[in-house]
Chains A and B, each alone.
Chain A
Amino acid sequence: MSGVSSRTGRSLLLLAPLLFFLIGFFVWPLFSMMAQSVSDPAVLRLLPRSAEVLADWDRKSPPTTPMQMALMEDLKSVDDDQALGDMVRRLNSARSGFRTLMGKTTSALKDTANPPADLVSIDKRWEKPEFWLAIADALSPYTDRNLLAAVDLGRNAAGDIEHLPPDQSVNAVILIRTFWIAALVTFACACIGFPYAIIAASLDGWKRDLMLGAVLLPLWTSLLVRTAAWFILLQEQGLINDLLRAIGLIDAPLTLIFNRTGVIIAMTHVLLPFMVLPIYSVLITIPKNLMPAAASLGARPLRAFLRVLLPLSLRGVASGALLVFISAIGYYITPALIGGPGDQMISSIIAFYATGSANWGMAGALGVVLLVATLLLYSVYSRLSSDEVGGR
């Protein structure tokens, strides 16, 4: 027995670098991202006394004296300006007017020469339950507002989930646009990649190597370089427009850049290998004599293709489509450089929240939405493909 366990121990030791890597660079960031999207400690951290008192409040009646005293105590003991700023921003996003109210209150509380008796004496607004309600709601260490906001939902004063007003509903539009662009790119990749893989699989020797090399080459160049190359090709005075005008196909230059067309072209090119390679790998496992067999049995080339080659290669098309689609929904650089303002995808919004406005909660929530959508798609795919295998 000890021999067995020492062997297990040794194999675990061999796996340790992998496990540490997975935990450190995969599991932990993923979970901290997901935790960011629901954690909301900005208010609770600074108002521990108020949290205790507010737990007994009935959420309707005017603020009691202990509530006011607790909040005053909490605010007096705050010595971190940045944390205070975070809390004010958090409260202000729940209830506008908090910024001025808090500013006024904290400066009054600092006036030690003439201490205020209670909060209402500083500002009449402290009498209104709405402000206290905002604080009470913000005291929970967890929140679903980021997740709800990521899909354009929010809670109203009564705490029910409802749609955000249209002027704040941008995420759903961008999410749908992201999926739409990804679907278009997947479709374009399948239309080009499938025949390409068929031709490559039917060749041999250097011709096959050349075709595979041509599709693999983009994978070996930096994404940024490839996108920049498309930038040069697609612009108004770019190679494509110049060529089309030189051969007289068009009079005025086509707008190929800073719009959807450009994004689709560039992303299709970048993602094509992920479509071609899975299809190719399935195609080369299909016995070469099946198509001749179909022909000898009386099938015209098109029918032989539809009845034999297509169903057999569908598995490759499906995995290629999944790879392309999942990669495409996370695209950031290409839409940012080639697309217009109407072509920005969800990653740009996540990047904006993460680096532009330091709203990690919102960035995390959008990331979670993207992750869930991807996992849903993947489960559909694996269900479909396991059905196929089970049928065999």
Chain B
Amino acid sequence: MAEYIRFDRITKFYGPLCVVEHLDLGIGKGEFVSLLGPSGSGKTTLLMMLAGFEQPTAGEILLDGTAINKVPTYKRDMGVVFQSYALFPHMSVGENIAFPLQMRGIGKAGIDERVKRALDMVQLSTLSDRRPSQLSGGQQQRVALARALVFEPRVVLMDEPLGALDKQLREQMQLDIRDLHRRLGLTIVFVTHDQSEALTMSDRVAVFNKGKIEQIGTPRQVYDEPATRFVAEFIGETNLVEGVVETVQGAEATVRLRSGAQIVSAVSGSVASGQSVFLSIRPERVDLSETRSEGRNVLETEVTDSVYQGDHLRVQLQNATHPLIAKLGRRSREFPPGTKVFAAFSAGDCRVIAP
């Protein structure tokens, strides 16, 4: 995939506060990239710099090979969808969508036709004459989307656009946006703090923490192969267990836990023998049984609590030195508290993470 947008060693200070630090990021044409991170991690600032609302303190932003640092927002040709929609309250839905076309000097007939098409695209054809205040949150969001797409921008930027919607509507919009992305071949940069949203929609996810990218990769990569403790904890739920590396063999390492158990695990990044590390074990990869299974990692544990949560069974376990959480399938048998069980998982289901 050809690189379309490049952030080249971007640094941004607000006064003495560094919000983005020496950041490099490349985004391909037609790619859907999510910037995921907690609030204050610099993801929105990066988006604002791409849109031209903010200037980087240092570094360069390139679009299609051209530096755009000095290009004003109105010439950047980027459609921005804001968290609070930012629809013009004194204009009707149709006028809102026509606005970017009028700014580009397109004739009346052309505008009408394209506004109609954009409204069809977001299924709001009948609401063209309404004011934004007469629409529901989800409808306003669709109008904002149509307005950002109607002028066929080079890049679409979305700043937590679904944050104000309720869960059901949000999930529907996630699928709608993903569908639009595929159909129209849009390049989308999507800012969110909701990890499931990022995993659902993106081609690639960039995980932000304290102004830096901790990891960038496909949803599968950032979930299954977290590079850092932050990524492992921020995306999904995980068990982090301390241990010391004994041997490293290719992509696998043997780790001795404080309880004395020996675990064979896949490795993210480079670790050396004798190094203190964390072991990340996803709860849904853990199996429980009362007999020791062969050929897999096994931890001796005791059930302390077990909660039925509809789609899964959440079991809290206690080892000699650390707690462990297991998520079992709906069909799994119940484990009453006090049961001694063996928690088993394969080498590929856990990761060694350097602290």
Contact = CB atoms under 8 A, between A and B. Distances in A.
B104 interface: yes
A27 B5 CA distance: 71
B131 A392 contact: yes
Nearest to B89: A312
B8 interface: no
Contacts of A301: 74
Given A294-B99, A296-B78, A296-B79, A287 B86 contact: yes
B103 interface: yes
A307 B72 CA distance: 19
Nearest to B48: A292
B56 interface: no
Interface in A279-298: 287, 289-290, 292-298
A300 B76 CA distance: 12
Interface in B70-106: 72-80, 82, 84, 86, 88-90, 99-100, 103-104
B147 A297 contact: yes
A312 B90 contact: yes
Interface residues of A, number: 20
A293 B78 CA distance: 10
Contacts of B52: 295-296
A287 B89 CA distance: 10
Contacts of A293: 80, 82, 86, 88
A345 to B, nearest CB: 37
Given A293-B80, A296-B79, A298-B74, A303 B88 contact: no
A299 B53 contact: no
Interface in B228-264: none
Nearest to B132: A392
A113 B74 CA distance: 104
Contacts of A300: 74, 103
Contact of A298 (B89, B151, B157): B151
A295 B82 contact: no
Given A292-B53, A293-B82, 15 more contacts: A292-B73, A292-B82, A294-B88, A297-B74, A297-B79, A297-B100, A297-B103, A298-B74, A298-B151, A299-B99, A299-B103, A300-B74, A311-B90, A392-B131, A392-B133
Interface of B: 51-53, 72-80, 82, 84, 86, 88-90, 99-100, 103-104, 131, 133, 147-148, 151, 157
30 contacts: A289-B86, A290-B86, A292-B51, A292-B80, A292-B86, A293-B88, A294-B88, A295-B72, A295-B73, A296-B51, A296-B52, A296-B53, A296-B79, A296-B148, A297-B100, A297-B103, A297-B147, A297-B151, A298-B74, A298-B75, A298-B103, A298-B151, A299-B99, A300-B74, A304-B74, A308-B88, A312-B88, A312-B89, A312-B90, A392-B131
